[in-house]
Structure 1
């Protein structure tokens, strides 16, 4: 497309409806779009569960969110959820967006139907040969992978019709001030020094990404002895027996019970803004592959991450300093405490825990 695009590209709607990590990995696209079109109106359509990922982001003028039926509030009917969504679509249609960007890999007919219902002048998205409906994407990018790509790199290719190319910038998240203040108050109540805090997130959606409680406890004790560190323990609250929303309350109690003399703040997070705020105050983070890892990367934290049956090329912490451990069995439980402790030492290049000096080299990752 010619460079005169900048003369009329005034209203953008980026659509990303997926999981936490997917949305975090879309923030480089959003930032590059804002850098190219500083005066444009740039809006985002997400789901209500993931909304805190992009709230407070200075690149975005407005965040619109709809609720998935499975995320509806207690007492809210499925019919009510869909009625609210219809009203939102009508509101978005009235804004007459110039561009809707379907920010997701592959050709997605369902999201395309949503984009068409909003009525933008142009639709950007991936196309695939022989897929019905692809003709409605007038600024399409053929979905082929020239090489294995990170999620952030893959999605970033959608900007090529607008003349934006190259390596995506770092991911970006901006914690909510009130949520940060609550974490700071909780740390003061426990008399924990913020500059000593290592965040440890023990939950993982995929079973093969779950490290055992006894290994977490042993690693925390090692790091305490080696670095005189204090800790925040993060997890998804609830019982592991809950079939709809399994949590890690039992696992957290086991870890806390083994660490009676270790300075540690237990911080279960049932809301995403709580997790973002908590991780923002940590000097380094230990976690498995998942949403918390991508949030930590977007907050520019050094990360020790455990990968089970996950695509490490696609999902490593983009442009964040990290050490990635993935056993040949693809089962995180097989990572030993000695191995994890040694990996954490490699993560701590000089100054890594003093103001995150390693952040100057955002793309420095160390993979084993």
Structure 2
């Protein structure tokens, strides 16, 4: 307890020091904004989003809306290297900067290293003389402090402590609101500061769709990989992406194997298993379980584990159906217009669920609360391996629920 109190005291002192260090720059920035900020010129905007793949996909409607409403703006996107592929080709991305943001990169780091990084990046951003910045991650106080120390005169974000003090325009945060709506609300507030009308509501997937597209080269590579596996344009297939960055989200390999065999026999769909190179062992385990159930004349699953994000999108766009747990690739599948079945447990699908037509995207939420959690969904993703047995909510989802969801989305047999 004493150790926690010491860390909390040190954190508060460092936050106060950051605030005091930024006061002169903030005052000068406000004077510059009053004296020279003109919407007749192209405003320089900085949008900060440190999150991983799926969160960036869910942010793309807000980026599109900003570009459509303020086409002359010079927009810089500041994201993690783990998700830059999502925004590099986006029409709003005039420039993309990357940083391994503290709290989002894996591996240990010194207690003071996030603060040294904060000071160094703020000095670099100050030279860019941005007119307005948006902290798109609601609870990312480090990002709000960065924008403050960088001397950006207009700083938009959500009024969550301790980042609230570093913002000039802090919006009330709505608990339980979808992540895409939260981003759209921030962009709407920024547009009003730029002299534009707010975004039209309600915020819906039809009005503000996801936007991510593979390059022509990635399309060609995906076509070649599928053709090599015997999956030409005439061969219907489904994709199962079983992996996730958080082990607590994973389902049972034998459950995926049962679904794969059912997709083949009941719907005539070949199976493609996708994942990262780190997930190769999981894909092979599922493929082995499928092989054990196949008849002699039935086609084995195809494993694709070395795809770029764009190549994965191109594969998903050709699929009749995509299945998986709560993960970035499932949001990529939604962005490609492919029907999805997604298994959720610790993450709240009201906030992080598919941003698409609910008739085409079925969410299966775990129905049994974990012994170590007070509620479902609990929001806990950083479960250490030794504690996973106490968090079985996703693993307890029965195959029958997944197959019933498939039944909603597919006709009886596709061949």
TM-score tier (shorter): 0.7 to 0.9
Report whether the alignment pairs 1:248 with 2:282.
Answer: yes
Equivalent position of 2:49 in the other structure = 16
CA RMSD of aligned residues (A): 3.4
Report whether the alignment pairs 1:202 with 2:234.
Answer: no
**How far off is 1:249 after superposition?**
4.8
User: What is the rounded CA distance, in whole Å, between the counterparts of 2:411 and 2:283 in structure 1?
Assistant: 34
- Contact 1:43/1:64 (8 A) holds in 2: yes
Structure 1 pair 322/116, CA: closer, same or farther in 2 (3 Å)? same
**TM-score scaled by length of structure 2:** 0.70
- Contact 1:213/1:254 (8 A) holds in 2: no
User: What is the rounded CA distance, in whole Å, between the counterparts of 1:205 and 1:141 in structure 2?
Assistant: 30
- Contact 1:99/1:121 (8 A) holds in 2: yes
User: What is the rounded CA distance, in whole Å, between the counterparts of 1:327 and 1:5 in structure 2?
Assistant: 51
Equivalent position of 1:308 in the other structure = 345
* Match among 166, 169, 177 for residue 139 of structure 1: 169
**How far off is 1:105 after superposition?**
1.5
**How far off is 1:217 after superposition?**
1.5
Equivalent position of 1:44 in the other structure = 77
Unpaired runs of 5+ in structure 2?
1-36, 107-113, 193-197, 370-392
Equivalent position of 2:222 in the other structure = 183
* Match among 148, 151, 154 for residue 122 of structure 1: 154
**How far off is 1:112 after superposition?**
1.5
Equivalent position of 1:97 in the other structure = 130
SS at match of 1:42: strand
Unpaired runs of 5+ in structure 1?
73-80, 241-246, 354-368
Name the stretch that deviates more: 131-140 or 86-95: 86-95
User: What is the rounded CA distance, in whole Å, between the counterparts of 1:109 and 1:256 in structure 2?
Assistant: 46
Name the stretch that deviates more: 111-120 or 40-49: 111-120
SS at match of 2:278: coil
- How many residues are treated as equivalent by the alignment? 332
- Contact 1:235/1:252 (8 A) holds in 2: no
Structure 1 pair 5/207, CA: closer, same or farther in 2 (3 Å)? same
- Contact 1:123/1:139 (8 A) holds in 2: yes
1:1-368 equivalent positions in 2, closer than 5 A: 7-8=40-41, 10-67=43-100, 92-106=125-139, 108-128=140-160, 131=161, 134-145=164-175, 148-161=176-189, 162-163=191-192, 164-165=198-199, 166=201, 167=203, 169-194=208-233, 196-238=236-278, 248-255=282-289, 257-258=291-292, 261-262=298-299, 264-269=301-306, 271-320=308-357, 321-329=360-368, 331-348=393-410
Structure 1 pair 38/17, CA: closer, same or farther in 2 (3 Å)? same
- Contact 1:66/1:88 (8 A) holds in 2: no
Structure 1 pair 259/190, CA: closer, same or farther in 2 (3 Å)? farther
Name the stretch that deviates more: 169-178 or 81-90: 81-90
Structure 1 pair 182/132, CA: closer, same or farther in 2 (3 Å)? closer
- Contact 1:10/1:41 (8 A) holds in 2: yes
- Contact 2:52/2:83 (8 A) holds in 1: yes
